[in-house]
Structure 1
Amino acid sequence: MDRENMVKSVSRALDIVDLLSMKKNGLGVTEIANQMDINKSSVHRILATLVKYGYVEQDIDTGRYKLGYKFLEINSKLLDSIDLRTEAHPFLEQLEKETNEVIHLVVYDNGEVVYIEKLDGNETLRMHSKVGKRAPMHCTAVGKAILSHIPINEVLNILQKKGLPDHTDHTMTNLDEFLNHLVNVKEQGYALDMEENEYGIRCVAVPIFDHSSKVIAAVSISGPTLRMTDDRLQELKQRMIEVGQHISIRLGFQSL
């Protein structure tokens, strides 16, 4: 087989895989040939090769072809190899360029958030955050973004252990008020920190989901109240929602 025909065969094989991925009950050789407008003998040869390597399997009773378990094996290895920081970094860098503000990436761990990435931006801003440091969830935008997508019994366990201590005069310390606030955060798709953790600092954050639709992290933009006005927060929220979605998709998340 010459190089051109080999490339064409690979292309057709991938097209068949795409076709089968959309058919839960599988397809027969004739159906595939008709939909792809190629002869049945070519389809049969390609399918035989895909079956041999486990990428496609044939139902003994119906004779129809479906995707094989080899794809699950590959998918599992791919998901295991995905690194959150690596996948998120291009989006964080772009946010930094667009806003010149501090960008944080955090993960959820044992009832707290842990900073795993921080980009400082070009503007002057002093914050207590640094990579490796832990922070409370109830008074940070990243923490609230994550909490809003965690089962209520887990949220209550966290709050029972950690409490709702006030870090500033703006910190929410009433349980019922806070739980209602989390409902709103989930509905709107983003969380705000309005000087609830540090005086003079405002943040907007969004959750990040993995391939199983579980919330695992959050990303935020932080800046001084002078620059993070109500109008600017409104401008940034939709951009942040987009970034959260993009990073989640890179981690295998499939939005509804």
Structure 2
Amino acid sequence: MDDYTVKSVDKAFWLLEVVSDHPDGIAITELAKRVGMYKSTVHRLLGTMMRRGYIEQDPKTGRYKLGYTVLDLGIKLLSSIDLRREALPYLQELAHLSNEVVHLALLDRGEVVYIDKVESANTIRMHSRVGTRVPVHATGLGKAILAFLPRREVQAIIDRYGLPKLTEHTITNRDAFLQSLQETRRTGCAFDIEEHQVGVCCVAAPVFEHSGRVVAACSVSGPSNRMGPDRLRDLVPLVKEAGRRISERLGYGDGAARARG
């Protein structure tokens, strides 16, 4: 076994793979026999995965099967792959028109995850990278997504993750934050004025899929000495248009109505 392999994690994934081959569920005794582990070890690993939603136990038969977290991950993977492919031409165009760095991100477990990035021709580069996770409340991307989620989902995210202060500009008051989301929903764009990182500003717009649910956001980011109020105002229609066009590519026919022009 590779020196870098964590044995308990490797065993958990092995169990997950075996369980996935049994859509009607598998008994713990049979599962332990299949993987060659002690029943007590299998029970502990299954318990951990059940708490995370990766495994479920049928209350009637006691058999174990895949949980909906696995489905959720698969859907997110497929969505992100399709989303990146469909969005890329518009991200590239936005980077060309703005001459700044462009990001595409989605929401995952209370954080924003960058799933694509297009560098500009400008010499000053952003240190962000694809796969980076950042707090949802302190980014234009996060606020552009939250503003179009059901209020109960937003409240649940705030309750769980809070509004921690990252810079002196971070909005940490719940009422003020919710008010900023209302403004984003009204205008169709969100701003990050050094709220996540000192010296960096951003303007973002939501991206909707065919059912009308917000699934991502796109943004233009740059150093605050280039991204003053006038510059941000000029970028708003470009970012919103990119979000609208990506939404249309995802089958959302009323993107323009949600990201108002």
TM-score by length of 1: 0.67
AA in 1 matched with 2:205: V
Q: Displacement of 1:111 after TM fit?
A: 1.5
AA in 2 matched with 1:190: C
In structure 2, what is the equivalent of residue 145 of structure 1? 144
The within-5 A match list for 1:81-160 is: 83-160=82-159
AA in 1 matched with 2:94: L
Asked if residue 199 in structure 1 is aligned to residue 198 in structure 2, the reply is yes
Write out per-residue CA displacement over residues 190-212 of structure 1, whole angstroms, 9 at most, x where no aligned residue.
00000000000000000000000
**Larger CA deviation: 123-132 vs 191-200:** 123-132
In structure 2, what is the equivalent of residue 5 of structure 1? none
Q: In the aligned structure 2, how far is the partner of 1:109 from the partner of 1:194?
A: 23
Secondary structure, counterpart of 2:138 in structure 1: coil
Write out per-residue CA displacement over residues 136-185 of structure 1, whole angstroms, 9 at most, x where no aligned residue.
11000000000000111111111111110011000000001111110011
Q: In the aligned structure 1, how far is the partner of 2:245 from the partner of 2:234?
A: 18
The within-5 A match list for 1:1-256 is: 83-255=82-254
Q: In the aligned structure 2, how far is the partner of 1:125 from the partner of 1:156?
A: 37
Contact 1:106 1:142 in 2 (8 A): yes
Q: In the aligned structure 2, how far is the partner of 1:81 from the partner of 1:204?
A: 21
Q: Displacement of 1:128 after TM fit?
A: 4.3
Contact 1:210 1:252 in 2 (8 A): yes
In structure 1, what is the equivalent of residue 15 of structure 2? none
Q: Displacement of 1:120 after TM fit?
A: 1.7
Q: Displacement of 1:222 after TM fit?
A: 0.2
Unpaired segments of 5 or more residues in structure 1?
A: 1-78
Go from structure 1 to structure 2 and tell me whether the alpha carbon gap of 1:238 and 1:110 turns closer, same or farther (over 3 Å shift): same
Q: In the aligned structure 2, how far is the partner of 1:113 from the partner of 1:128?
A: 16
Q: In the aligned structure 1, how far is the partner of 2:79 from the partner of 2:230?
A: 40
Q: In the aligned structure 1, how far is the partner of 2:85 from the partner of 2:194?
A: 30
Q: In the aligned structure 2, how far is the partner of 1:128 from the partner of 1:81?
A: 22
Contact 1:82 1:251 in 2 (8 A): no
Secondary structure, counterpart of 2:143 in structure 1: helix
Go from structure 1 to structure 2 and tell me whether the alpha carbon gap of 1:81 and 1:234 turns closer, same or farther (over 3 Å shift): closer
Runs (4+) off by over 4 Å: 79-82
Write out per-residue CA displacement over residues 72-105 of structure 1, whole angstroms, 9 at most, x where no aligned residue.
xxxxxxx989811011000011111112211100
Secondary structure, counterpart of 2:103 in structure 1: strand
- What fraction of aligned residue pairs are identical, expressed as a percent? 50
Contact 2:140 2:203 in 1 (8 A): yes
Secondary structure, counterpart of 1:83 in structure 2: helix
In structure 2, what is the equivalent of residue 36 of structure 1? none
Give 1 or 2 for the bigger CA radius of gyration.
1
Unpaired segments of 5 or more residues in structure 2?
A: 1-77
TM-score by length of 2: 0.65
Q: In the aligned structure 1, how far is the partner of 2:192 from the partner of 2:117?
A: 17
The root-mean-square deviation of aligned C-alpha atoms, in Å, is 1.7
Q: In the aligned structure 2, how far is the partner of 1:227 from the partner of 1:207?
A: 23
Q: In the aligned structure 1, how far is the partner of 2:232 from the partner of 2:240?
A: 12
